[in-house]
């Protein structure tokens, strides 16, 4: 039995790991991908996605180029210091024959949700612009989508692009606010958990040693990503933002603490712009309440996810 998954991403090195996770997971039927500007521009992210999917033996997955600009401001460049200018750590992937669909990202999301009504698993690991636009095209999207998992935000953890803001949310806070308050069956995998799961150089070497084109490409990209995180951690390594969200979406990791609480996003121009404001005041009672319309906010994911990820990617 497989379940239909749709991925919205900005590929991106950790996006590539998430794509690897989805392709390597036997329960996943990847029905489509849309891209959005974030780590790099949406068109570049789509090219990387097509090339990587071909390398992983899935040249058939349709990829749509989504929003280049954000809801209330223009895209102004990605994160070349983190992901490289080409988004995949300057690794040269073989150019795939496939081209993007003619659909916008929002259209592709809506078509997938309608085609798999009540069954679609949606995973968004870039800025939330495409999903916000899809909500305009199809207000019933929250009912059509069975489960929606996002990598983004920070509830109690520090931000990564400002004191409080995480990059995916900070790129388009208005879109994020609309998505978090739309009524999806939504799980937020934010910095509270992603910063606690680290891929080490030993993992990377073992992935490289797998020797298949996909595993080698991802391991090569990680060299660049590791160099960025070395500035933060003092050793070459990387936190596992997007693949952790993918693994939650596929049901492979346990959320030990994940209260369902109201979440809004600060989309003012104030000092908290881009912050996910999760109401965690029940903390001291152990979160006895589940709030209707709330978001499931992951606060603790125990276990050795880096090892699990290495094992899964080693099957590519």
Per CB under 8 A, residues contacting its own copies are 156-160, 163-164, 195, 232-234, 262, 264, 266, 268-272, 275, 277-281, 283-285
Residue with tokens 């090569």: 220
CB of 223 to its own copies, least distance (A): 21
* Cβ proximity to its own copies, 36 vs 164, nearer residue: 164
In angstroms, what is the C-alpha Rg of the chain?
Answer: 18
* Residue 211 backbone zone (phi > 0: left; psi -120 to 50: alpha; other: beta): left
* Cβ proximity to its own copies, 75 vs 225, nearer residue: 225
- Element of type H or E holding 260: strand 260-261
CB of 100 to its own copies, least distance (A): 36
Number of Cβ within a 10 Å radius of residue 95: 10
Residue with tokens 């979160």: 287
* Residue 293 backbone zone (phi > 0: left; psi -120 to 50: alpha; other: beta): left
SS (HEC) of 97-137: CCCCCCCCHHHHHHHHHHHCCCCEEEEECCCCHHHHHHHHH
CB of 158 to its own copies, least distance (A): 4
The C-alpha angle 21, 260, 173, rounded to 5 degrees, equals 70
CB of 259 to its own copies, least distance (A): 11
* Cβ proximity to its own copies, 228 vs 233, nearer residue: 233
Q: Is 241 a catalytic residue?
A: yes
CB of 277 to its own copies, least distance (A): 5
Question: Which residue among the candidates 197, 241, 267, 289 is catalytic per the annotation?
Answer: 241
Count of helices and strands (H, E) across the chain: 13, 12
Tokens of 206: 């073992």
* Cβ proximity to its own copies, 210 vs 280, nearer residue: 280
| CB-CB contact of 146 with 185 (8 Å) | yes
* Cβ proximity to its own copies, 255 vs 280, nearer residue: 280
Q: What positions carry a catalytic annotation? A: 241
């Amino acid at each position: 039995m497989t379940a239909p998954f749709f991925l919205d991403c900005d590929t991106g090195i950790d996006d590539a790991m998430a794509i690897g996770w989805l392709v390597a997971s036997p329960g996943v039927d990847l029905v489509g991908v849309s891209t959005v500007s974030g780590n790099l521009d949406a068109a570049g992210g789509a090219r990387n996605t097509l090339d990587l999917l071909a390398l992983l033996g899935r040249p058939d997955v349709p990829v749509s180029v989504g929003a280049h600009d954000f809801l209330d401001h223009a895209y102004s460049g990605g994160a070349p210091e983190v992901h490289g200018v080409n988004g995949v750590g300057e690794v040269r992937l073989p150019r795939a024959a496939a081209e993007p669909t003619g659909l916008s990202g929002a259209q592709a999301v809506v078509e997938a949700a309608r085609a798999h009504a009540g069954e679609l698993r949606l995973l968004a690991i870039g800025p939330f612009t495409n999903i916000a636009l899809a909500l305009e095209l199809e207000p019933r999207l929250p009912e059509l989508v069975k489960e929606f998992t996002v990598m983004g935000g920070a509830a109690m953890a520090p931000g990564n692009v400002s004191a409080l803001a995480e990059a995916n949310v900070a790129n388009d806070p208005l879109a994020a606010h609309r998505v978090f308050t739309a009524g999806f069956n939504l799980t937020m995998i934010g910095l509270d958990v992603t910063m606690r799961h680290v891929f080490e150089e030993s993992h990377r070497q073992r992935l490289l040693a797998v020797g298949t084109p996909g595993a080698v490409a991802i391991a090569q990209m990680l060299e660049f990503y590791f160099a960025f995180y070395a500035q933060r951690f003092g050793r070459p390594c990387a936190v596992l933002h997007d693949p952790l969200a993918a693994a939650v979406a596929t049901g492979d990791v346990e959320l030990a603490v994940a209260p369902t609480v109201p979440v809004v996003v600060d989309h003012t121009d104030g000092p908290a712009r881009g912050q996910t404001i999760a109401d965690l005041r029940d903390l001291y009672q152990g979160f006895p309440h589940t709030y209707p319309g709330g978001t499931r906010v992951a606060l603790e994911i125990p276990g050795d996810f880096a090892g699990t990820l290495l094992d899964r990617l080693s099957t590519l």
